[in-house]
Amino acid sequence: MYKKLLISAGLFIVLIAAAVLVNFNSPVEAAYLGSGLPSGTTSQTLRYGGSGWEASGALTNDGTNLVASGAITATEFLYSSDARLKNNINPLSGALDKVQALEGVSFNWNKDNKSEIGLIAQSVEQVIPELVVTGNDGLKAVKYGNVVALLIEAVKEQQVEIDALKIQVEKLSK
């Protein structure tokens, strides 16, 4: 009996390994349907299509692609940024004033009292509404990745001010 069980288990493992090898040559998909998803969401899908993993919530009402309630760890996050995907491109102006109007805060999350630092979406929305998204549930989120463009332009504005001050100091020291 033990030998039959061992042989059956071995065959089962070989069949699973063969199925995995075959499936990675074609799309593999795992879907979650049911409760526990954000309101208005009926499914979340994780798919391997040969060129990499794709996650989607194609049936969400708020247009989001992936909703996570915990930490997401990755070696990189990529943002579509190709000029061919954009129109009406204009440089940012007044970036330094906008950065100075933002307020970094420390806080604790209500759900677990975990200490954190960041921005308050409602405050950001008053200064730079393009950085804030409001979900169907009314909760607001900040597009933190997009803050980088604002910070780059603010540093450049500061550098112009620093260079002007350097020239003034040189004139005064002569």
At 96, phi and psi to the nearest 5?
-65, -40
CB 154, CB 98: distance < 8 Å: yes
Residue 72: phi and psi, rounded to 5, are -115, 125
CA distances to 22, 65, 149 from 9, in Å = 20, 39, 56
| Residue 39 clears pLDDT 60, i.e. is over it | no
How confident is the model over 145-157, as pLDDT tens digits? 999 999 999 999 9
At residue 79, the pLDDT reads 84
* Rounded-to-integer distance, Cα 74 and Cα 83, Å: 25
CA gap 147, 159 in Å, rounded: 18
Q: Which residue has the higher pLDDT, 4 or 123?
A: 123
Write out the two tokens for 1: 């009996």
Task: Characterise 120 by phi-psi region: left (phi > 0), alpha (psi -120 to 50), beta (else).
Answer: beta
CA end-to-end span of the chain: 99
3-state secondary structure 85-147: HCCCCCCCCCHHHHHHHCCCEEEECCCCCCEEEECCHHHHHHHCHHHEEECCCCCEEECHHHH
The pLDDT of residue 113 is above 80: yes
What is the predicted pLDDT for the residue at 48?
62
d(CA 145, CA 76): 12
Length of the chain: 174
Which pTM does this prediction carry? 0.62
Q: Which neighbouring-strand residues pair with 108?
A: 115
